[in-house]
Amino acid sequence: MTASASASCFRATLISMPWALFNRPSLQLAALKAYVEREMEAEITTLHPFLHIAAAIGIDVYRRISQTSWAGEALFAPLVFPGQRDKARRLFRESLRRSGVGGNLPDYDELVVTIDAACRSWLACQDFSACRLLGFSVCFGQLLSSLYLARLIREQGCSAPVVFGGSSCSGPIGRGLLRHFPQIDYVVDGEGERPLLGLCTFVTGEHDGLPEHVIGRIALATIPCHQLEDLDLLPLPDFRPYFTEIKTVFPELPFIPVLPLEFSRGCWWNRCAFCNLNLQWQGYRHKSAPRMTAEVETLSQAYRCLDFFFTDNALPPREADLFFHRQGQSGRDHRFFAEIRGTADRDQLAAYRSGGLHVIQVGIEALSTSLLQKMAKGLTVIDNIAIIRDSAAAGIRLDGNLILEFPGSTAEEVAETLANLDVLLPFRPLAKAVFFLGHGSPVCRAPRTFGISGLAPERRYRALVPPEIAQDIGTLIMDYRGGRRRQRQLWRPVADRIAAWHEFHRNRPQPD
């Protein structure tokens, strides 16, 4: 780029806050940077302050806190809303106790002070004077930290408009954020590439209207803006800034970075009654196996990484078969994590393992066929038991959840679950996941079908945010009434059995 071109270049900064996992760069920032820079004359800076906060409090402390998003949000709550400190402190301790990761952590108030100082120290080293747009990628667990840093940047005198985007800004939640937080000027509701590009051109004055899916404080004409149809046409994500920051923050590199990958957007099943993970997508799209193979090879060589994490809600089965077959033939020592549906058979899993798939997340959710039908999983108990067995046979570690207290569960379904837990005792234990009501999920859209009434913002969210704001904005997780006490009583034996299952495997002799 020539000096004159550089002087006229549009500059924007994109930020990812805690509690993103410190050993992974932000895929959202890397993808947006690459796309906007390809489509217009722009220089997009991506910043990962979560690295600096991890260094300030210690990577082990950061890792444990990041395992429970509520604890992480609680640490920023008093910085955004000082009056919430006592409630947030109680939530912090409760969340860590329930997750089992809270031993020997620093005092809550000490952590708040350290985090605040780390944010201010990081900010003192930044120069936003040439920045014409400032963006925050806001997924679950990143809202309060993003609100806090955006406010600090405003107080420092940065006049660039601020845009929030991500799953925590979907639908009415994004509009509510605009109503209550003056540090936000725009919200992207949905897929980010084309709306962000359109917002950049709007800021330059090239267009008079905002692109669809960008919400502002005042009503403006909108320009049609459709989501991307062919994901193969996306540029490779640009992770270079993350690795540059690592060299500064962690010069001795006390951890191995894992690169996030995106094979698809949305979910090809997209029917599970409890799921709200696809609010920002319109339909399911995926990359081709050849494109994914080339992407992994290029990223591996560029960043000297062998470990990869697929961010997909569910890998595309046919393309995944082709991809892992080619990986197996390549002889590369790549290691992958992916989330798949429980439809893969023994031969597929063996091929996946040969192609480097070491860990899978499978939505087991239930061990009762009638309960799986209520959840609209499209699977049976035999399917779930089979994939647990076949994954172990293939040498793949399976991480899965069992949803407890699903609304409308019966005593017969609990009894069936307990019987099937006995069958699974030799295998890696599932984790228990108490049902939560996700905003926008099929259960939330038709609550009475599941015996639910009286929706409200989730109790834990109300500990973080003043009630009038929580009620107006809404949340990704809702509170509700409808048989909850009975469900807790019904499912207590299952919770106890899962705890005993985990204890059995902790005490099980390990092979030499």
Q: What is the pLDDT of residue 3?
A: 40
What is d(CA 285, CA 21) in angstroms, rounded to the nearest whole number? 26
Question: Does residue 470 contact residue 84 with C-beta atoms inside 8 Å?
Answer: no
Cα–chain-centroid distance for residue 352? 24
For 393-426, the pLDDT digits (tens) are: 999 999 999 999 999 999 999 999 999 999 999 9
Residue 509's φ and ψ, nearest 5 degrees, are -60, 135
Could you give the CA distance from residue 451 to residue 222 in angstroms, rounded to a whole number? 40
| CA–CA dist 424, 101 (Å, integer) | 26
| 260 backbone dihedrals φ, ψ, rounded to 5° | -75, 145
- The helix (run of H) or strand (run of E) holding residue 89 is helix 85-99
- Chunked into runs of 10 residues, the chain (512 residues) has average pLDDT values of 58 97 97 98 98 96 92 97 97 89 87 98 97 96 97 96 93 92 96 96 89 89 89 98 96 94 96 90 93 98 97 96 97 96 96 98 97 97 98 98 97 98 97 94 94 88 91 87 95 97 90 57
**Cα–Cα dist 138/148, whole Å:** 12
Rounded to an integer, what distance in angstroms lies between the CA atom of residue 367 and that of residue 381? 5
DSSP assignment of 458-502 equals: -HHHHHHS-HHHHHHH--SEEEEESSHHHHHHHHHHHHHHHHHHH
Half-sphere exposure of 159 (CA within 13 A, CB side): 3
Give the residue among 473, 469, 474 at the shortest CA–CA distance from 455: 474
> Measured at the alpha carbon of residue 330, what is the angle toward residues 326 and 335, in degrees to the nearest 5?
85
Residue 493 tokens, joined: 């034996």
| SS3 assignment for 1-53 | CCHHHHHHCEEEEEEECCCCCCCCCCHHHHHHHHHHHHHCCEEEEEECHHHHH
25, 259 contact by CB (below 8 A): yes
Q: By the 8 A CB rule, do 163 and 196 touch?
A: yes
Nearest to 478, CA basis, from 274, 271, 272: 274
Of 329, 339, 313, the C-alpha closest to 391 is 339
Q: Could you give the CA distance from residue 398 to residue 370 in angstroms, rounded to a whole number?
A: 23
| Whole-angstrom distance, CA of residue 267 vs CA of residue 131 | 36
Closest CA to 20 of 75, 77, 57, 63: 63
The DSSP 8-state label assigned to residue 160 in this structure reads S
Q: How far are the Cα atoms of 217, 262, 398, 443 from residue 337, in angstroms, in the given order?
A: 40, 12, 10, 29
CB 362 within 8 A of CB 339: yes
CA dist., res. 306 & res. 297, Å (int): 10
Residues 6+ apart with CB under 8 A from 7: none
Q: Is 254 exposed, middle or buried (0-12, 13-18, 19+ CB in 10 A)?
A: exposed
Q: 278: helix, coil or strand?
A: coil
C-alpha–C-alpha distance, residues 55 and 61, integer Å: 10
Angular region, 454: left φ>0, alpha ψ -120 to 50, beta rest: left
Distances (CA, A) of 226 to 158, 197, 214: 31, 12, 12
Give the list of residues 6+ apart from residue 255 with CB closer than 8 angstroms, or none.
22, 23, 59
* Residue 338 neighbours by CB under 8 Å, 6+ apart: 263, 310, 312, 315, 320, 357, 359, 360, 361
pLDDT digit string, tens, across residues 112-167: 999 999 999 999 999 999 999 999 999 989 999 999 999 999 999 999 999 999 98
CB atoms within 10 A of CB 85: 16
Q: Where are the beta strands (DSSP E) in 373-415?
A: 397-404
pLDDT number for residue 7: 57
Q: In the prediction, which pLDDT does 362 show?
A: 97
The upper half-sphere exposure of residue 417, i.e. CA atoms within 13 Å in the direction of its Cβ, equals 30
